[in-house]
Amino acid sequence: MFYHTKKLQYFKPPEKPDPIYAKKIQELIGGTFGEMTVMMQYLFQGWNCRGPAKYRDMLLDIGTEEIGHIEMLATMIAHLLEKAPLKMQEEGALDQVVGAVMGGTNPRDVIMAAAMNPQHAIVSGLGALPADSVGFPWNGRFIVASGNLMADFRSNLHAESQGRLQAVRMYEMSDDPGVKDTLSFMIARDTMHQNQWLAAIEELKADGLEDTPVPSSFPLDLEKREYAYQFWNNSEGTESAEGRWAKGPSIDGKGEFEYVENPKPLGPEPVPPQPDPRLHGTAKDKSLQGESGSSKKIIG
Amino acid sequence: MFYHTKKLQYFKPPEKPDPIYAKKIQELIGGTFGEMTVMMQYLFQGWNCRGPAKYRDMLLDIGTEEIGHIEMLATMIAHLLEKAPLKMQEEGALDQVVGAVMGGTNPRDVIMAAAMNPQHAIVSGLGALPADSVGFPWNGRFIVASGNLMADFRSNLHAESQGRLQAVRMYEMSDDPGVKDTLSFMIARDTMHQNQWLAAIEELKADGLEDTPVPSSFPLDLEKREYAYQFWNNSEGTESAEGRWAKGPSIDGKGEFEYVENPKPLGPEPVPPQPDPRLHGTAKDKSLQGESGSSKKIIG
Amino acid sequence: MFYHTKKLQYFKPPEKPDPIYAKKIQELIGGTFGEMTVMMQYLFQGWNCRGPAKYRDMLLDIGTEEIGHIEMLATMIAHLLEKAPLKMQEEGALDQVVGAVMGGTNPRDVIMAAAMNPQHAIVSGLGALPADSVGFPWNGRFIVASGNLMADFRSNLHAESQGRLQAVRMYEMSDDPGVKDTLSFMIARDTMHQNQWLAAIEELKADGLEDTPVPSSFPLDLEKREYAYQFWNNSEGTESAEGRWAKGPSIDGKGEFEYVENPKPLGPEPVPPQPDPRLHGTAKDKSLQGESGSSKKIIG
Amino acid sequence: MFYHTKKLQYFKPPEKPDPIYAKKIQELIGGTFGEMTVMMQYLFQGWNCRGPAKYRDMLLDIGTEEIGHIEMLATMIAHLLEKAPLKMQEEGALDQVVGAVMGGTNPRDVIMAAAMNPQHAIVSGLGALPADSVGFPWNGRFIVASGNLMADFRSNLHAESQGRLQAVRMYEMSDDPGVKDTLSFMIARDTMHQNQWLAAIEELKADGLEDTPVPSSFPLDLEKREYAYQFWNNSEGTESAEGRWAKGPSIDGKGEFEYVENPKPLGPEPVPPQPDPRLHGTAKDKSLQGESGSSKKIIG
Amino acid sequence: MFYHTKKLQYFKPPEKPDPIYAKKIQELIGGTFGEMTVMMQYLFQGWNCRGPAKYRDMLLDIGTEEIGHIEMLATMIAHLLEKAPLKMQEEGALDQVVGAVMGGTNPRDVIMAAAMNPQHAIVSGLGALPADSVGFPWNGRFIVASGNLMADFRSNLHAESQGRLQAVRMYEMSDDPGVKDTLSFMIARDTMHQNQWLAAIEELKADGLEDTPVPSSFPLDLEKREYAYQFWNNSEGTESAEGRWAKGPSIDGKGEFEYVENPKPLGPEPVPPQPDPRLHGTAKDKSLQGESGSSKKIIG
Amino acid sequence: MFYHTKKLQYFKPPEKPDPIYAKKIQELIGGTFGEMTVMMQYLFQGWNCRGPAKYRDMLLDIGTEEIGHIEMLATMIAHLLEKAPLKMQEEGALDQVVGAVMGGTNPRDVIMAAAMNPQHAIVSGLGALPADSVGFPWNGRFIVASGNLMADFRSNLHAESQGRLQAVRMYEMSDDPGVKDTLSFMIARDTMHQNQWLAAIEELKADGLEDTPVPSSFPLDLEKREYAYQFWNNSEGTESAEGRWAKGPSIDGKGEFEYVENPKPLGPEPVPPQPDPRLHGTAKDKSLQGESGSSKKIIG
């Protein structure tokens, strides 16, 4: 069960409204790696967790923190959308630009009215949306909770890496001290969360629960070991031979990397089975198709 | 530019058709972590790569290999769907089960006809679909290519971890020697690919290009460092204090983990700006809403 | 900011696992009117609320309660998926049914393995998914937070009506005492929430903030009043004349319903503008299409 | 079966083209509460209606009217897109703005070419799209037809409330007399339709068919009545106690509102079942995971 | 504007309910090539049509007819869902199968309850859904209305081809005389509609409005004519040389097919531009990345 | 299996960056008729093909070519995004426009920063995205591979028609010689591909495998032949009688077109079955609804 406190985890309001920046910052709420993703991902991982209590508790702690991050950004967006220009004055566009030179109205408003997210006016009445920076809605396929903690902590590490990268890009794209201050808190939390998932991966190994390759509980002799450390060079040129992945012991310590410079297929040409005549597909031979099954013995 | 050879990278056909298993194995083609995802993810990362040539070449090598993995699984599905039962005989369901005891027709067909993916018959005529095991289509939000190789290699490591986990689960869910043999090849390749991305992450560090936290090129003094290593215990109970993430030096070597047992908000209560009357939202006070903007000076 | 307590708001575990029921109950988590919808809808409405504090506080209270409802259902699903059968034994299907008569293995497992949500095994490892009963992911277009509280409270009333209806249907579709007990709590909460939104609608009227038609702040003389209370009978037959909507004073008390038995169009035939030749659409006349704009003066 | 007449239900053409406004008005065609939604929602409710004939007839009347509303807006968009600027002149952008001051070409065109919906040029050749104002396609999850008319009429009331709110916002965002005239007709129809659904809700009650809580046919003694009128104050502070929902008789007349100031969980801590080893999830204890099921007795 | 008549265009009710068949026939309502697609596609093409009146009128005629086809199928589904079994009796599954042999309850119901579309019970109350046979919702990206009638009539021809193929498959998958009779009407209409679009393509050519290649109004000398009739054999083996596409005059009569047996790239290796340091991507060289843009001159 | 060569099939870089054009050209990568569609469509058709080898080989040849087209456009987008302006200078917008007159910074950058696809900066770091021109992701429902080659080749013909139309529109919307040169190659390939699918349709007929109506293998006497050549004039006015589709022999040569000027329904009024009381829908009569099924005999 959950409780709410009215204060925000952290917040500095923007100094000035900016509806274009509001459009962009939606990426951090409802984008593939936005706060809705990490919130839902950690909560579902926590709820589905069957591992030791420390992992479950930790997942729910951070998932709960992330709900508050959506709240911070939603508040930010409400401020950024204040006094957003709602229309381009049709006659006036030309005049406005001329006017700008003359000391008249602000042509920035004309551009803002044209390029802001229209749903910020029409749908949400100048509030945040559960969508990304192009207006695409957040959806449940953005998250994963597999029950295997190593697989999931690697997902979490990746989400926090993409998330911090995007927050940093948003930081670079602003000059507003309030925006930058709030983002610098969120970027710091992302630093923590990258460290946290790296630490959690170490903990899983230290507990003897999971290792590389994931899932480590699957007996290795059931996979085709002879292909488990080969790099296949499927393009002409061999620049790819210069990397760590092409030679030396494998990172899992269980094999040796091998560079296959001219890979050849190991399998046969496919021999697709002939179609069921009742589905009226095209067969190799007209005699295999074309009669209605309705006058035939039914298989199913 | 790309070329095709007719032979498959590896393949053993299933011994017996099984349309339910065909439905399930769609997850490995068009699911969030299926072959369409890794293929598209590696190709877009390669096409967008501005780092050293060895990384770009390597990404395009493996992306090209993954196209062939879709091909293998599509061929597998065509075999699994052979002779799929197309209908439940309405009167006959009862009879068939009785018949089963009597040595009559196969009740397995009744179940198969009821529970197979209907689009395997109606839409694709017993061929593979670009969708997952519940029929949801693959889409472009499943992939990421950010231009930051460390962020992306962590994504790749996670995708191969979820991918191998899912392939292993499919292996466990089959008794067919052909299916198991083909999957044991794909599982081995996933072992390689997990090792490959771990190696590539090492290589990026060795090259001095990227490090933790991602992106490492952002000056740390621009983030709020005092919150960069704190674990916030947002739930009652302290099981989460038992993990590596709660104490000791941070994994990036740049700080010390701190456990905040009773976290308090650092920010104020939100003070949302009052609405624009032209958007007819509900304000604190009736006098702030309710008139049409059409009789007012227009801001925008 | 949010906090979590480990105990559930309410819960009785199911007496027996049932993976088919687990598939169905996903509708109450991730369906259009599931708990993810009401949680997100109330939180975004609260975060975007610019009305009096009592409304904002109330919205965030109930939004916070709903997070815990997802938690209850996710726990329910984990129990329902325990020991889910992971495969149909291919040879065995026939044998099993025969076997059933003989006292052998359970044919229910064969059906379950065929018809359960495959992602419950392959993707989530027997945990809940952020998706509905056919596996379609929850998405942000399921919610609304418009800034107009009357419009939104009507949305909330409708969501709780559909939600209670679906919970009741799930109740009727189960014989498990644990499932029924847990659902009977959730159904009672839905009763409260329907009453709550009806009360909140009354409160908005009592506060003089909103009324019918929504938005009430738009001056009525700006709409075409002569069409504001007409029922247009766009089909043959006049059964629709028998309802309250066809005669008597309008519900908003500002007009009189009128039944238009033989409605005629009020507008002209459309006269679409001719196409830009650079877009190579088909025009009325060949001379209006077909030249490349590249040899012409560019407008844009 | 349906018929078409060439004349529009109502229409005034816009005085001037405006491709940005055309982008925005797509919300009223293909948005969550656009005309495609109400058309499809009323038609499916009518087709699925098993209640008295007057309801079915009424639903199909209004659903049929709404097809014509899409037609009106599609015609509007074709006019608004006339002579849309198709490109920014690359060199010319600077010159144009300079030119504006000098009396040269119109910088409004530069902005329009940059910010209009690109699919209006590339995909539809200056015609309407079945999508909303950010280009997201209309989809079937936008509508509901549950078979319970009270639940559905509340949905309809909410849809017409959001719809009129959005139409009013579009009205406020335009200065074009033709656009405003056409919208003032549609806004009037939304006034009717809000009244209509309120009247239809009264009619259902008067007919003794449905009441609060929905569905009223479910015996109240099957829900946990003790929680059916409690308001849970899940956040600190008690502003939410000030509303009608916190005290007095419930709106359904069957209970008394109660304000629970410090709500406590009623349920236990979750005890998730241990995972199936064949799914290779992480268990509490290493001994519960890690062996391949392939060498074990199969449950399913 | 549109009108409705209560009678169906054509209809024979099914003799027996069948919820699995109801699930499957959803493909013909809400699938990629279902009736919602052709209805919406023809109406939008008609509304966007700027060609001669006969085309516009014809498009709106057939679009209007297709609304009635959804109506027929929705009615069919309501009948097929009558008395659908709503639950598997948990204990009883085994008993039922045994019972079947003994003359007890119908095991077909157990399978139906497990494998029917759960939303047919939970969401629509045994009514049709705007979704396909796997429950995926119809969406606006399924249709096209480009303004070029030749491009669109080819789309229409393809939609009616896929549509008739799917209707035929559904016909083959049923033994119910009512279902088959109704489908045989719809299949006949699809025969008409394939002929109609072939005729309309002829008419466009006869009117001198459009031709191959589409769009024919683009001057051919602006394309690279030397590559306009080459077949590139991008795989090993030359079976593809055996077709009409590999030799002889091109179908548009403006060139000669040429078979390129060993195609070579015509372009250079890509030389991607180096990244903007403010986006913190990985560059070829560390010196090109890693400083924060915040201490630099801003370009934008 | 597939191979890659580093050189592009064809390419001329753009002379100047243009982030708005980069946003638009995404339509040709990830739009409904973009290169991802044709690539995936031809590969899946090839993998699912059970017809003669020449068709399968041809499909895989062209599918393989199309992978390289995505590569060309992704490279184009990287060039177009070079030096994209990342922010509007908040104070500076006004100044910049004034500045433009004074010879200061470029106002084009202000517009670009406002209207470019924000994900090109935030998500992809100035690389291509698997999405269309409004940012909607490519998805698997964009393609079809039905197993019937005639149905599929008609799909391919339509895709290449829409694709060439869109490429031509992009050509008209650019003044950049590099862009135009590269597009003129792709437009030429689309000319080939339209010819190729027309040729392939001829080949299928010549081989006696498929014909009109598709699927031709379904016995015509199973459809209601009396409706197979009728045009139904579902709107007032008879402009639609003027086309080829209204009179003369049908295109398939098997019938005669007939114009039905005043079409009447052939079917009855629907008589929907009464609802199951356990689903709590609204019935004609109160006595048919309202009791809980839990106190009744369960059907299912």
C-alpha F14/C-alpha D90 separation (Å) is 12
Q: Which chains touch D (3 or more CB pairs under 8 A)?
A: A, B, C, E, F
Residue by residue, DSSP assigns chain C as -EEE-SS-SS----SS--HHHHHHHHHHHHSTTSHHHHHHHHHHHHHH--S-HHHHHHHHHHHHHHHHHHHHHHHHHHHHTTT------TTHHHHHHHHHHHT-S-HHHHHHHHHS-HHHHHTTSSS--SB-TTSPBPBGGG----S-HHHHHHHHHHHHHHHHHHHHHHHHT---HHHHHHHHHHHHHHHHHHHHHHHHHHHHHHTTS--SSSSTTS-GGGS-GGGTTEEE--BSS-GGGGSGGGSSB-TTSSSB-EEESS----SPPP-PPPPPGGG-PPPSSGGGS-S-GGGS----
Among residues 224-253 of chain C, which lie with CB inside 8 Å of chain D?
Answer: 224-235, 237-245, 250-252
* Pure H helices in A126-176: 149-172
Residue B97 has pLDDT above 80, yes or no: no
- Pairwise CB contact (< 8 Å): A141 & B266: no
Q: Are D106 and D114 in contact (CB under 8 A)?
A: no
Tell me what pLDDT residue E275 has. Answer: 86
E289 pLDDT band (50/70/90 cuts)?
A: low
CA F31 to chain centre: 7
For B42, the token pair is 């590696």
Query: pTM for the complete prediction?
Result: 0.94
Residue A129 has pLDDT above 90, yes or no: yes
Residue by residue, DSSP assigns F59-85 as HHHHHHHHHHHHHHHHHHHHHHTTT--
F190 and chain E in contact, CB less than 8 A? yes
The count of CB pairs under 8 A between chains E and F is 397
Residue B140 has pLDDT above 50, yes or no: yes
Q: Which residues of B touch C132 (CB under 8 A)?
A: none
Closest among C153, B201, E75, B261 to D60, alpha carbons compared: E75
Q: What is the mean pLDDT of chain B?
A: 90
Could you tell me which chain B residue has the CA closest to the CA of C210? Answer: B282
Q: Which residues of C touch B169 (CB under 8 A)?
A: 121-122, 125
C-alpha F279/C-alpha C173 separation (Å) is 9
C-alpha B256/C-alpha B247 separation (Å) is 7
Residue B298 has pLDDT above 50, yes or no: no
The angle subtended at Cα E265 by Cα E260 and Cα E266, nearest 5°, is: 100
Tell me what pLDDT residue B291 has. Answer: 54
Tell me what pLDDT residue E290 has. Answer: 54
- Helix orientation angle between A177-206 and A53-80, rounded to the nearest 10 degrees: 170
- Pairwise CB contact (< 8 Å): F188 & E58: no
The count of CB pairs under 8 A between chains A and F is 142
ipTM over 0.90: yes
Q: Are E204 and F259 in contact (CB under 8 A)?
A: no
Q: How many residues would you count in chain E?
A: 300
A15 pLDDT band (50/70/90 cuts)?
A: very high
Q: Could you report the per-residue pLDDT of B225-271, keeping only the tens digit for each?
A: 999 999 999 998 999 999 999 999 999 999 999 999 999 999 999 98
What are C249's strand-pairing partners? Answer: C256
Residue B161 has pLDDT above 80, yes or no: yes
Q: Could you report the per-residue pLDDT of F191-200, keeping only the tens digit for each?
A: 999 999 999 9
A289 and chain B in contact, CB less than 8 A? no
- What are the residue ranges in chain D where pLDDT is below 70? 88-106, 288-300
**E208 Cα to chain B: minimum distance (Å):** 36
Tell me what pLDDT residue F90 has. Answer: 41
Percent of the residues in chain B that have a pLDDT greater than 70, as a whole number: 89
What's chain C's Rg over C-alpha atoms? 28
D193 assigned ligand-binding residue: yes
- Pairwise CB contact (< 8 Å): F119 & A134: yes
C-alpha C179/C-alpha B214 separation (Å) is 45
Could you tell me which chain A residue has the CA closest to the CA of B111? Answer: A300
Q: Could you report the per-residue pLDDT of E54-100, keeping only the tens digit for each?
A: 999 999 999 999 999 999 999 999 999 998 888 765 444 444 454 44
Q: Which amino acid is located at A81 in the chain?
A: L
- For β-strands B2-4 and F2-4, DSSP reports them as antiparallel
Among residues 86-115 of chain E, which lie with CB inside 8 Å of chain D?
Answer: none
**F147 Cα to chain B: minimum distance (Å):** 5
C-alpha D254/C-alpha D64 separation (Å) is 39
Closest among F280, D225, D144 to C187, alpha carbons compared: D225
For D140, the token pair is 């079937």
Closest among B205, A15, B38, A28 to F121, alpha carbons compared: A28
Q: Are C120 and C84 in contact (CB under 8 A)?
A: yes
Residue E292 has pLDDT above 80, yes or no: no
C-alpha E168/C-alpha F146 separation (Å) is 13
**F262 Cα to chain D: minimum distance (Å):** 10
Q: Could you report the per-residue pLDDT of F203-229, keeping only the tens digit for each?
A: 999 999 999 999 999 999 999 999 999
Q: What is the mean pLDDT of chain E?
A: 90
* Pure H helices in D81-220: 92-102, 107-115, 118-122, 149-172, 177-206
Tell me what pLDDT residue C103 has. Answer: 44
- Stretch A154-178: mean pLDDT: 97
CA A236 to chain centre: 32
Percent of the residues in chain A that have a pLDDT greater than 90, as a whole number: 81
Among residues 31-50 of chain E, which lie with CB inside 8 Å of chain B?
Answer: 31-32
Residue A286 has pLDDT above 80, yes or no: no
Burial of D87 (0-12, 13-18, 19+ CB in 10 A): buried
Please report the sign of the dihedral spanned by the C-alpha atoms of residue A281, residue E144, residue D135, residue C278: positive
Q: Which chains touch A (3 or more CB pairs under 8 A)?
A: B, C, D, E, F
Residue F104 has pLDDT above 60, yes or no: no
B223 assigned ligand-binding residue: no
Q: How far is CA A201 from CA A207, A251, B248, B251, F55, in A?
A: 10, 15, 15, 11, 50
D119 and chain E in contact, CB less than 8 A? no
E294 pLDDT band (50/70/90 cuts)?
A: very low
Percent of the residues in chain F that have a pLDDT greater than 90, as a whole number: 81
A248 assigned ligand-binding residue: no
Residue E297 has pLDDT above 80, yes or no: no
Q: Which residues of E touch D127 (CB under 8 A)?
A: 44, 47-48, 145, 147
- Pairwise CB contact (< 8 Å): B294 & D169: no
Q: b/e per residue, E85-107, with b = 16+ CB within 10 A?
A: bbbbbbebbbbbbbebbeeebbb
Q: Could you report the per-residue pLDDT of F45-93, keeping only the tens digit for each?
A: 999 999 999 999 999 999 999 999 999 999 999 999 998 888 765 444 4
A167 and chain D in contact, CB less than 8 A? no
- What are the residue ranges in chain C where pLDDT is below 50? 90-96, 98-105, 293-300
Tell me what pLDDT residue B102 has. Answer: 41
- Stretch F39-43: mean pLDDT: 98
Q: Which chains touch C (3 or more CB pairs under 8 A)?
A: A, B, D, E, F
Residue B105 has pLDDT above 70, yes or no: no
Query: Backbone phi, then psi, for E235, in 5-degree steps?
Result: -130, 160
Q: Which residues of C touch E210 (CB under 8 A)?
A: 282
E163 pLDDT band (50/70/90 cuts)?
A: very high
Query: Backbone phi, then psi, for A72, in 5-degree steps?
Result: -60, -45
Tell me what pLDDT residue D196 has. Answer: 97
